[in-house]
């Protein structure tokens, strides 16, 4: 059996930047073990497998795998996968689609153009969680000094919008460049747990490289098979909670750009829109571009 696949660079409008994504089409006959093996073969941060949707009103069903296991939801597979489906169907033109992910149906809006763009409504709004690590332990695991942690009123906090992340504010770009993830030190705080269940740190600072970005970010996840991620949409979704909590965003829509992947030589741009209402997040969405870099047949 052979299946069509494509590779897209996501959260970028240029090839060989952003976050690479493998997209496998018509994967209805694949079982969990086969999808996990294929994801390990591609060895990208995520691979998305599309099959027929359960609901007639939805576009497709999807399963998302990292090299280390399955995710219920992820941002760059949702953006890149939606664009891949649209291009396979002769688009993308401006349209709406609904993708059935493990977290539930995800509504995606596509916008055509020279480089296609997709944005999706968060299927779950960010919720605050009790932070597992204190700032001292975080500093040690990142190879930083305690004084590198925090800026303004931003402190370490934990949020989840489907996948949990420890949001770690850093003093600036210098601290961001010096950060080195010590997996042994990190996992020492999670005895007896499967590493796949251990949260990842999402580092951010207000200083940026590009003039129009609001935040600069890095995400480490070697215990998930991802040494460092060039762009993490699900982390940006969780981070919306931290932004709203610490920055006190205005009522109505607030749009900002997050840059990531700079230290890896794969610069990425994630658009985060947060709509505030009555002092809380009423809605949020993640958006970005994607470009195809490869396609072929996968022998299974």
Instruction: Catalogue the active-site residues.
Output: 46
**Contact status, residue 16 vs residue 9, Cβ threshold 8 Å:** yes
Read off φ and ψ for residue 100, nearest 5 degrees: -85, 105
Distance, in Å, from the CA atom of 73 to the CA atom of 124, rounded to the nearest integer, reads 10
Instruction: At 222, list the tokens.
Output: 């070697």
Distance, in Å, from the CA atom of 202 to the CA atom of 126, rounded to the nearest integer, reads 14
Distance, in Å, from the CA atom of 59 to the CA atom of 79, rounded to the nearest integer, reads 14
DSSP bridge pairs for 10:
19, 290
Instruction: At 233, list the tokens.
Output: 């949409």
Closest CA to 80 of 150, 18, 159: 18
Read off φ and ψ for residue 195, nearest 5 degrees: -55, -30
Neighbours of 281 (CB within 10 A): 21
Distance, in Å, from the CA atom of 94 to the CA atom of 113, rounded to the nearest integer, reads 9
Instruction: At 1, list the tokens.
Output: 């059996």
């Amino acid at each position: 059996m052979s299946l069509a696949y494509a590779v897209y660079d996501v959260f970028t409008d240029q090839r060989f930047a952003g976050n690479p994504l493998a997209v496998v089409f018509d994967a209805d006959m694949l079982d969990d073990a086969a999808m996990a093996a294929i994801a390990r073969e591609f060895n990208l941060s995520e691979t998305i497998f599309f099959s027929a949707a359960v609901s007639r009103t939805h576009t497709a069903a999807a399963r998302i795998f990292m090299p280390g296991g399955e995710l219920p939801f992820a941002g760059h597979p949702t953006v890149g996968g939606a664009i891949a489906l649209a291009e396979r169907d002769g688009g993308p033109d401006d349209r709406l689609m609904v993708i059935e992910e493990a977290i539930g149906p995800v509504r995606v809006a596509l916008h055509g153009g020279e480089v296609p763009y997709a944005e999706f409504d968060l299927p779950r709004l960010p919720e605050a969680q009790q932070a597992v690590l204190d700032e001292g332990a975080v500093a040690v695991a990142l190879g930083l000094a305690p004084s590198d942690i925090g800026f303004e009123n931003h402190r370490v906090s934990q949020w989840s919008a489907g996948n949990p992340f420890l949001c770690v504010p850093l003093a600036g770009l210098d601290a961001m460049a010096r950060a080195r993830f010590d997996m042994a030190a990190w996992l020492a705080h999670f005895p007896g747990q499967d590493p796949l269940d251990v949260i990842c740190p999402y580092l951010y600072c207000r200083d940026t490289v590009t003039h129009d970005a609001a935040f600069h970010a890095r995400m480490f996840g070697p215990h998930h098979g991802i040494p460092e991620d060039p762009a993490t949409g699900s982390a940006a979704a969780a981070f919306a909670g931290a932004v709203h909590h610490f920055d006190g965003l205005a009522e109505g829509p607030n749009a900002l750009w997050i840059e990531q992947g700079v230290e890896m030589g794969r610069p990425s741009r994630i658009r985060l829109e947060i709509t505030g209402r009555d002092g809380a997040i009423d809605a949020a969405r993640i958006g970005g571009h994607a470009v195809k870099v490869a396609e072929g047949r996968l022998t299974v």
